[in-house]
């Protein structure tokens, strides 16, 4: 069995060089291992990593010292078992507040990828103060009911729509079956909703 000169591309972060040379001056070995960029070597965009051969990246890693430039007190503070746990974090939800939108005063969301989740269709509140979920509002829209409808009104409207769309009431015409199924599903959802309990 023939022995490979170098291990495979998955060996310790090795990435196929594709003609890229080691970043160490004077070295002609392929640059297959990623190393942090040089300090201050940024063109305004994200920093570009240096690529080195195995020997030079090993030498680079051997010289790396996380604590370089720190005082003895700073080193002691960084090595404490609870270091970092004292930092105050922002609360993502408040107790009893439900799924409310966060305050994004300093947040930049140009694609509206996150804020869209929190947008709600505005609907008048119910007189009885019972909450309506998004699914409740969608079901009310299917039935053509106002947000303040009561249980009796819900049953009455359901009966009207079933008579309107049922094939037996339309001479066997099954063209409204999809609408009938939506009405039934909306009614089943609403009759179990807290607003109609």
Mean pLDDT check: name the lowest of 10-14, 29-33, 166-170. 10-14
Mean pLDDT, residues 15-42 taken together = 82
Mean pLDDT, residues 103-127 taken together = 60
What pLDDT does residue 122 have?
Answer: 46
- Where exactly are the structural domains of the chain? 11-63, 134-196
CB 15 within 8 A of CB 9: yes
Q: Give per-residue pLDDT as tens, 19-32.
A: 889 989 999 999 98
What pLDDT does residue 86 have?
Answer: 73
The CA–CA distances, whole Å, from 99 to 89, 123, 125, 133, 134 equal: 19, 17, 17, 11, 12
Mean pLDDT, residues 63-89 taken together = 83
User: Average per-residue pLDDT in the chain?
Assistant: 78
Hey, what CATH topology would domain 134-196 get? Answer: Helix Hairpins (1.10.287)
């Amino acid at each position: 069995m023939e022995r490979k000169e170098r291990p495979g591309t998955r060996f310790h972060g090795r990435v196929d060089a594709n003609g890229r040379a080691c970043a160490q001056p004077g070295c002609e070995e392929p640059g297959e291992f990623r190393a942090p960029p040089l300090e201050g070597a940024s063109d305004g965009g994200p920093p570009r990593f240096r690529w080195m051969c195995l020997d030079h990246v090993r030498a680079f890693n051997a010289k790396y010292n996380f604590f370089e430039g720190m005082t003895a007190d700073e080193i002691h503070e960084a090595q404490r078992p609870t270091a970092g746990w004292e930092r105050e974090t922002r609360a993502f939800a408040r107790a009893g507040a439900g799924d409310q939108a966060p305050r994004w005063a300093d947040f930049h969301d140009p694609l509206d990828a996150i804020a869209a989740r929190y947008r709600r269709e505005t609907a008048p509140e119910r007189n009885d103060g019972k909450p309506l979920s998004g699914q409740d509002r969608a079901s009310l829209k299917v039935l053509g009911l106002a947000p303040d409808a009561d249980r009796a009104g819900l049953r009455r409207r359901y009966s009207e729509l079933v008579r309107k769309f049922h094939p037996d009431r339309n001479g066997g015409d099954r063209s409204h079956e999809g609408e009938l199924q939506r009405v039934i599903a909306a009614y089943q959802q609403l009759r179990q909703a807290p607003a109609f309990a």
